[in-house]
């Protein structure tokens, strides 16, 4: 752009903080984005990764930025031109980190292409107690990591000091345990919470959950074998092989009490539903923390750290946390809330779907069904359903639960259905469902009072409006 000053990359590098102003460059443009940091839909931490440098590598990884409205917004913050010798050549950085992503089932509803995020349609989701691998939702924060399985090593470190590295075969030598566990994203059902008030996050329907049989070594056995003393540390951190543009891995942690408790059934899993874990779900090794939010179930794990501290990863520190409904982006302090671990009780109606034309059966009922689940090993004991705003509640039949789960270790989801009496003359009805878990926790009635700025823990009654025919 003519008439604007020219800056070198070196000058831009100095503007990597809020005090001196935050500058970035994109192609040949230089931009002052200081006032935009708080407004960044992906959160201020994420945009600060690019502070004082080029956004090009970030936009290759977070490809949802390449839209005309975002380019326009960026142009509105332009303050200058990048000196010619610093402008990246078009063939530079041309490596596409998404070139070798796995082939995915076409029935998945894609919520994000790069990184890939997708969920199955609700009716398909609850057709099987065990979710088939190829329709299991995918939540990737970064490109799928590429690696040669022969080179794979799992490293253990005490704080930052490496204590041992082992191969996959060494993991396979430990006694093999299996657990049927649902994994649910902290943002599952976010689209419903967003209707109460706008928020930031992928618009998940009810399908960011799946139920699978996971097999592998118990983390407690591996840690014990390494001589880890529970008293010496507070947390076990995990790192994935997927790296962000600055070279930081996806990471998360769980309390050491959970990691070392044999009854918590935490696995280093190398199998999903009796076969190798598919690439999208963490091949060759994935942490399974039953009953705990999806984000801590680290895929492609290659480093495990025993530490006094939680994972420094932004996914542990500045994301996947819950807040009061009156906290918004201008007053949020991520340090003030604990990271989400065990998930609250929830349920979803998977059939019929919103706006379906549902035929009323001869006995005046319609067939309704879905899933229910609670975190921390709590069993679902009841699902209540109403078609008249709670004047009458009908108890659903629990059609599938893990028959082998011990008390307090109920990690699988529960499928349910019922023939729900309806008033056909009403024409349109709203069906509500709520689940109750073994601690008699029950879902909250509405989203208004559990709303939080990132749209996590979206467990209010599920409400579906349908037409009776």
> Which residues are identified as catalytic?
40, 65, 139, 185, 320
Using the rule CB under 5 A, is 249 a contact of Mo ion?
A: no
Nearer to ligand MTE, 250 or 270 (CB): 250
User: Residue 290: which of ligand MTE, Mo ion, none does it interact with, CB under 5 to 8 A by kind?
Assistant: none
Query: Which residue(s) pair with 212 in the sheet?
Result: 181
**Stretch in the footprint of Mo ion (CB under 5 A) among 69-77, 131-139, 216-224, 383-391:** 131-139
Which CB atom, from 104 or from 164, has the smaller least distance to ligand MTE?
A: 104
Q: How far is the CB of 459 from Mo ion (least distance, A)?
A: 15
Q: What is the DSSP letter of 116?
A: T
Position of tokens 């209540």? 384
Cβ atoms 47, 23 nearer than 8 A: no
- Other CB atoms within a 10 A radius of the CB of residue 30 amount to 26
Q: Pick from Mo ion, ligand MTE, none: which does 297 bind, CB < 5 to 8 A by kind?
A: ligand MTE
CA atoms within 13 A on the CB side of 204: 26
DSSP string, 360-397: PPTTSEEEEEEEEE-STTPPEEEEEEESSTTSS-EEPE
Q: Which does 270 bind (CB under 5 to 8 A by kind): ligand MTE, Mo ion, none?
A: none
Scan for tokens 């419903």, then name that residue: 192
Residue 260 binds: one of ligand MTE, Mo ion, none (C-beta under 5 to 8 A by kind): none
Supply the DSSP string of 77-112, one letter for each residue.
Answer: TEEEEE-GGGSPPTTTT---TTTTPPP--TTSEEEE
Q: Take residue 78 and report the two structure tokens written for it.
A: 């332009």
If one asks whether residue 185 binds Mo ion (CB under 5 A), the answer comes out as: yes
Q: Give the residue nearest to Mo ion (CB).
A: 185
Contact yes or no for 299/282 (Cβ under 8 A)? yes
Q: Is 190 in the site for Mo ion (CB under 5 A)?
A: no
137 binds, among Mo ion, ligand MTE, none (CB under 5 to 8 A by kind): ligand MTE
Which of 365, 433, 349, 442 is CA-nearest to residue 393?
Answer: 433
Residue with tokens 């208004």: 448
Rounded-to-integer distance, Cα 76 and Cα 87, Å: 20
Length of the chain, in residues:
469
State in angstroms the smallest separation of the CB of 297 from Mo ion.
9
Candidate ranges 78-86, 179-187, 281-289, 371-379; the one touching Mo ion (CB under 5 A): 179-187
* Least distance in angstroms from the C-beta of 183 to Mo ion: 9
Q: Which stretch binds Mo ion (CB under 5 A): 89-97, 116-124, 235-243, 291-299?
A: 291-299
User: Does 296 contact Mo ion by CB under 5 A?
Assistant: no
Which residue pairs, CB below 8 angstroms and at least 24 apart, start in 218-221?
Answer: 218/174, 218/175, 218/177, 218/262, 218/265, 218/266, 218/267, 218/268, 219/259, 219/260, 219/266, 219/267, 219/268, 219/287, 220/259, 220/260, 220/261, 220/262, 220/264, 220/266, 221/174, 221/175
Interacting residues toward ligand MTE by CB under 6 A: 136-142, 183, 185, 240, 242, 250, 280-281, 294-295, 297-300
In the complex with ligand MTE, which residue's Cβ is closer, 281 or 409? 281
Cβ nearer to ligand MTE, comparing 111 with 297? 297
- Residue 281 interacting partner from Mo ion, ligand MTE, none (CB closer than 5 to 8 Å by kind): ligand MTE
- Of these, 29, 52, 139, 210, which contacts Mo ion (CB under 5 A)? 139
- DSSP secondary structure letter of residue 321: B
Task: Among 143, 282, 294, 375, indicate the residue that binds Mo ion (CB under 5 A).
Answer: 294
**What CA–CA distance (Å, rounded) separates 68 from 343?**
38
Compare residues 415 and 457 and give the one whose CB is closer to Mo ion: 457
Please, which residue, 141 or 454, has the CB nearer to ligand MTE? 141
Binding of residue 209 to Mo ion (CB under 5 A): no
Closer Cβ to ligand MTE, 185 or 431, answer by number:
185
State the residues that interact with Mo ion by CB under 5 A: 139, 185, 294-295
């Amino acid at each position: 752009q003519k008439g604007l000053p020219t800056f070198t990359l070196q000058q831009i590098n100095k503007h990597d903080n809020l005090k001196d102003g935050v500058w970035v460059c994109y192609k040949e443009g230089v931009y002052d984005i200081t006032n935009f940091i708080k407004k960044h839909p992906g959160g201020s931490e994420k945009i600060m990764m690019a502070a004082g440098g080029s956004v090009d590598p970030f936009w290759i990884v977070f490809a949802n930025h390449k839209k005309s409205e975002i380019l326009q917004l960026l142009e509105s913050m332009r303050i200058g031109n990048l000196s010619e010798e610093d402008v990246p050549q078009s063939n530079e950085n041309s490596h596409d980190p998404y070139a070798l992503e796995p082939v995915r089932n076409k029935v998945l509803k894609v919520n994000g292409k790069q990184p890939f995020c997708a969920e199955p349609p609700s009716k398909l989701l609850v057709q099987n107690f065990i979710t088939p691998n190829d329709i299991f939702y995918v939540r990737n924060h970064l490109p799928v990591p590429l690696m040669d399985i022969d080179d794979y090593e799992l490293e253990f470190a005490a704080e930052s000091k490496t204590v041992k590295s082992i191969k996959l075969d060494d993991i396979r030598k430990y006694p093999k345990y299996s657990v049927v566990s649902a994994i649910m994203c902290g943002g599952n059902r976010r689209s419903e919470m967003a209707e109460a008030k706008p928020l930031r996050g992928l618009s998940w329907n009810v399908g960011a959950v799946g139920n699978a049989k996971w097999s592998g070594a118990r983390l407690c056995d591996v840690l014990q074998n390494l001589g880890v003393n529970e008293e010496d540390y507070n947390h076990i951190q995990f790192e994935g092989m997927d790296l962000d543009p600055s070279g930081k891995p996806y990471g998360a942690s769980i309390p050491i009490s959970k990691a070392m408790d044999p009854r918590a059934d935490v696995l280093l899993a190398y199998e999903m539903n009796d076969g190798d874990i598919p690439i999208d779900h963490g091949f060759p090794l994935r942490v399974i923390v039953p009953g705990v939010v999806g984000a801590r179930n680290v895929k492609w794990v290659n480093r495990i750290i025993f530490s006094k501290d939680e994972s420094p990863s932004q996914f542990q520190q500045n994301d996947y946390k819950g807040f009061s409904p009156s906290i918004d982006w201008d007053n949020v302090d991520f340090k003030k809330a604990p990271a989400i671990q065990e998930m609250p009780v929830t349920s979803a109606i998977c059939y019929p779907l919103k706006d379906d034309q549902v035929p009323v059966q001869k006995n005046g009922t319609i067939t309704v069904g879905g899933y229910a689940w609670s975190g921390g090993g709590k069993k679902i004991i009841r699902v209540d359903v109403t078609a008249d705003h709670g004047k009458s509640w009908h108890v659903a039949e629990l059609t599938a639960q893990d028959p082998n789960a011990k008390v307090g270790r109920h990690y699988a989801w529960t499928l349910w259905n019922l023939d729900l009496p309806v008033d056909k003359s009403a024409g349109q009805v709203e069906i509500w469902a709520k689940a109750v878990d073994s601690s008699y926790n029950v879902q909250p009635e509405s989203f208004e009072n559990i709303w939080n700025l990132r749209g996590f823990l979206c467990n209010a009654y599920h409400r579906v409006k349908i037409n009776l025919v």
